[in-house]
Amino acid sequence: MSQIETVILKPDTNGIAEAALVFWRGGLVAFPTETVYGLGADARNDVAVAKIYAAKGRPSFNPLIVHLADVAAVHNYCEMSDVAQRLAAAFWPGAMTLVLPLLQDAGISKLVTAGLDTLAVRVPDHVVAQNLLAEFGGPVAAPSANPSGRISPTTAAHVIAGLSGKIDAIVDGGTCGVGVESTIVDCSGPVPCILRAGGIPTEALEACLGMALATPSDPTTPTSPGQLLSHYAPQGSVRLNARHFDAHETGLGFGAVDAQLNLSPSGDLVEAAANLFAMLHRLDAMGATAIAVSPIPDHGLGRAINDRLKRAAAPRD
Ligand code: TXA
Ligand code: MG
């Protein structure tokens, strides 16, 4: 792929207008959401969407999430069951993606859905993403703005490190608050189920619906087409549930432990989620070859953190 100049845009009126123009011209813009930075393109434009796959080096069977400004816009593209509407009312805008039946003739590129008859959609809760979606006025396909298989970006600097020269622009909106990707709920079948743990805890979804939801238990069985086992991989090896750190290891702690980096010294899972990807990026920058991670409680945002850490620790090709 030939290199292009990547423009860094401010998150102000001019920057947002420039970013929307890039979408209209079929280009790629990375932008902040409350979860992680997304790499966006016009979801109706085949060539633009193909550029996302090329820039990320992403396998083409992996469908993308479409970002929309509000629930009203979602109705233009998808069928929404009662359950979907309840979840949307409770958690959008926010860190939840719904997989919904795609309407015929919705105009979404087949490269976005990878040929599926469902569409993953999300209304992000971030002022820059909201302003950009409003200015553009169309559906924006956006996976996380990292090379495929690598750590997701929570700052503009992470995006530039991974994709500079491959994308047209990035809107620098600072650090993402949530820090892990959205929770994906499949609402296309008779029973809703969770395809990916993420920024909205499972417990909150269950409380909203008044029912237990099936969750991904074993990372070796991909439930979502893009849930590859080895993912989020830092350069070094990763050892999980470490109750002590060996001399050759770089410790990534949680709670009151003595470690080079600590996701949350006070044991706060929300803080740990927000720090997770930035600290994995830092471990790369430090040249850590053997990373050992403290045990993380498996509830609330801990589930999303453990899901990402298992994939970071998985055997690689
Ligand atoms: O927080 C997030 O969700 C971020 C920000 C940018 O919004 N986006 C993100 O996108 O994480 P991505 O592409 O890295 O992950 C999308 C996941 C993949 O695992 C993909 O397989 C799944 O969503 N997915 C997309 N469409 C689907 C569908 N129709 N059915 C099932 N899974 C789907
Ligand atoms: Mg991703």
Distance CA 44, CA 109 (A): 5
Does the pLDDT of residue 184 top 70, yes or no? Answer: yes
Residue 219's pLDDT band, with cuts at 50, 70 and 90, is: very low
Q: Is the CB of 296 under 6 A from ligand 1?
A: no
Q: Which residue shows structure tokens 């608050």? A: 177
| Selection from 190, 302, 8 nearest residue 293 by Cα | 302
Residue 33, ligand 1, Cβ within 6 A:
yes
Specify the higher pLDDT residue, 233 or 180: 180
Q: Confidence band (pLDDT; 50, 70, 90) for 224?
A: low
154 lines ligand 1 (CB under 6 A): no
pLDDT for 38-65, tens place per residue? 999 999 998 999 899 989 988 766 899 9
Closest CA to 228 of 149, 121, 124: 149
In this prediction, residue 222 has a pLDDT band, given cuts at 50, 70 and 90, of very low
Strands (E), 146-262: 169-171, 183-186, 193-196, 237-239, 250-253, 261-262
CATH superfamily for domain 7-209 = DHBP synthase (3.90.870.10)
CB of residue 121 inside a 6 A radius of ligand 1: no
Q: Which range has the worst mean pLDDT, 2-6, 67-71, 95-99, 136-140?
A: 2-6
Tens-digit pLDDT profile for residues 294-307: 999 999 999 999 99
Ligand 1 centroid–CA 65 distance in Å is 5
Test site for ligand 1: of 35, 110, 125, 181, most ligand atoms within 8 A of the Cβ: 181
Short-list 103, 66, 107, CA closest to 188: 103
3-state secondary structure of 251: strand
The whole model's pTM is what?
0.90
Q: What is the mean pLDDT of the chain?
A: 93
Instruction: For residues 285-297, give the mean pLDDT.
Output: 96
How much distance in Å is there from the Cα of 256 to the middle of ligand 2? Answer: 30
Within the chain, which residue ranges are assigned CATH 3.90.870.10? 7-209
Beta strands in 11-162 (DSSP E): 29-31, 38-42, 65-67, 96-101, 118-122, 140-141
d(CA 139, CA 68): 6
